[in-house]
Structure 1
């Protein structure tokens, strides 16, 4: 028996078993209603009686969930717990549709017996051709209606299970709204943090160097000794070069122009060249990438490599960029001391940037190393 035949056999067995469990569930509810009815009507005993009723209802729902998982291969969220209303609604509708499904299967069985009698009559010659044609036409219509009804009932059973044992469309929509609200707030916070860092870099770095440059030029201008003036001008020239290098570094942290001019691979090559430790880059991407994905991938590599060079004591960093099934995976690994804080300003900003693209950022940095940062960015 091949896999497809086995699957159909399991589904047929699951449908037949579902008719039995539906009848058993309705009978259990009827008995529970008779036994607990007076206690449910009295306000003082209602909570306890309702708790007993729901305990039995959840057991029945658990059996139905296991039936769907085993015979139909359905997968439901493990940690999702349906509310009492959804459980009772499922069992009530499931009992009705299950009994109706049993009736349809019974009618199909009776139709199969009648079809056998009709074939035997045709073989024996006891039926005229007109009567045989009429009976065959009527039987074919009834068979079609029965099969369509059975198919609809099976589809309804599947939809009821998905809605009852997992989040509904409304719950998924609300969850998505909450995720987008959190992601938007995180992006705004990350942008503000980046602006403050840029302002701090300009104020504490470039501005102070420009003040020093102005002082050197002023001293050279006021000096009377030509040799001292030449030395001051030499210092001023070196200071101006340092200012340009730092300004270029700040500009690259704001947005790398190489992304627009040369693409992601060349921009990552620039990150490797400016890093103080050796960086080995493996780039396996065929075709263009969306611009937001390129930007996010660049900043993931740039921030992670910079942290590795400054704080981890790493002597080697490897970067791998891979596009597979419309998902761009960026993995940065260093051999440093580990212990990176995922809640730190830099890594939390990266997480916000990745979350804004519906991506995922994984940080594995045990004490003693190594550290591995993996970003998964969808490209659709």
Structure 2
């Protein structure tokens, strides 16, 4: 109920304030006609700023461009009819409500307003009429809100130059983030090879040398075990760098391998009608793998649910765990995933309140 009441109250308040600013803007524009005729921008900055605040706070118009007084004045002129229409709609709704309350009070006190007795046909007729008028008034308010948002996007939204600058900034940040992520991955691989596999190979060489000198079967057995562990570690490093199953068998089978290797039970729901393109498939795979690894290592989760589904032109990847929550979206692993998704013009979100659950979602365009 609250989800309907609060937006409705904001819409009513926004339309009421819009009617006030429409009247004010109309008077101000008429008063500054000589300035406009001379080709100058009238000094209406206060009204433009007030309108931007009203649109953002009460009508939910968030994607406004940079402040531009000239475009703002054009918006004020264009929206005056809409603002006045909103005032008329609110007036009619208020007048109808006051009239209905007056009739009810008169009937309760024993009166007969306009000679109408409270008989059942009259009550039924007035109830139906009031319901229809209320519906029409609410529909008018919704339409006024839609017209307000459309005018704001047309006159106050970012223009092509601003959109181009924003896009260039996003691409520059994405490129820098990808370079940083690649460098970090290279450092991690070097650390795994140096601290893990290299040490095993050194120990293996020493064991083989001692076995050759002493002819010990026990040392040869230890060397054989050490070579097996080194091979397993090498396979594990190669799997973390890039799994061959992703290219050979596809995303579903590669994720099944992630589930098998996870110490926490992982349930996978895969609902894609066809195999996505390689870049999307790779991003989806690494998103799931990183999220599953984090949930197993840091969240203390007992179960992880993975969903891969198609919604229109998007592949939506959702990972949910029942752990302790508190995941940091700016941490190394999640930040790297956000950069990988952003490089594909996707959207990456993390919801991880204290106490859980943690929900990681990536929307990847597959077109």
1:1-380 correspondence to structure 2 within 5 Å: 28-32=28-32, 53-56=44-47, 76-77=61-62, 80=65, 82-90=67-75, 94=78, 162-223=153-214, 226=215, 229-380=216-367
> TM-score, normalising length from structure 2?
0.66
User: Unaligned stretches of 5+ in structure 2?
Assistant: 1-21, 36-41, 83-147
Deviation at 1:308, TM superposition (A): 1.8
- Structure number with greater Rg is 1
Q: Is the 8 A contact 1:76 1:166 kept in 2?
A: no
Q: How many residues align?
A: 275
Deviation at 1:222, TM superposition (A): 1.5
Deviation at 1:159, TM superposition (A): 9.1
Q: Secondary structure of 1:376's partner?
A: strand
Q: Is the 8 A contact 2:64 2:153 kept in 1?
A: no
Deviation at 1:322, TM superposition (A): 0.9
Deviation at 1:369, TM superposition (A): 2.5
Deviation at 1:56, TM superposition (A): 4.5
Q: Is the 8 A contact 1:77 1:166 kept in 2?
A: no
Query: Which portions of structure 1, spanning 4 or more consecutive aligned residues, are displaced by more than 4 angstroms?
Result: 24-27, 32-35, 56-63, 78-81, 89-92, 157-161
Taking structure 1 as reference, are residues 347 and 158 closer, same or farther at Cα in structure 2, changes over 3 Å only?
closer
Q: Is the 8 A contact 1:322 1:330 kept in 2?
A: yes
Taking structure 1 as reference, are residues 163 and 174 closer, same or farther at Cα in structure 2, changes over 3 Å only?
farther
> TM-score, normalising length from structure 1?
0.64
Q: Is the 8 A contact 1:335 1:371 kept in 2?
A: yes
Distance between the aligned counterparts of 1:62 and 1:301, measured in 2? 40
Distance between the aligned counterparts of 2:52 and 2:361, measured in 1? 40
* Deviations, residues 311-333 of structure 1 (Å, cap 9, x unaligned): 22222222111112121111112
Show the counterpart of 1:44: none
Deviation at 1:25, TM superposition (A): 5.5
* Deviations, residues 233-263 of structure 1 (Å, cap 9, x unaligned): 1111111111111111111121111111100
Q: Is the 8 A contact 1:76 1:165 kept in 2?
A: no
Q: Is the 8 A contact 2:61 2:149 kept in 1?
A: no
Taking structure 1 as reference, are residues 246 and 76 closer, same or farther at Cα in structure 2, changes over 3 Å only?
same
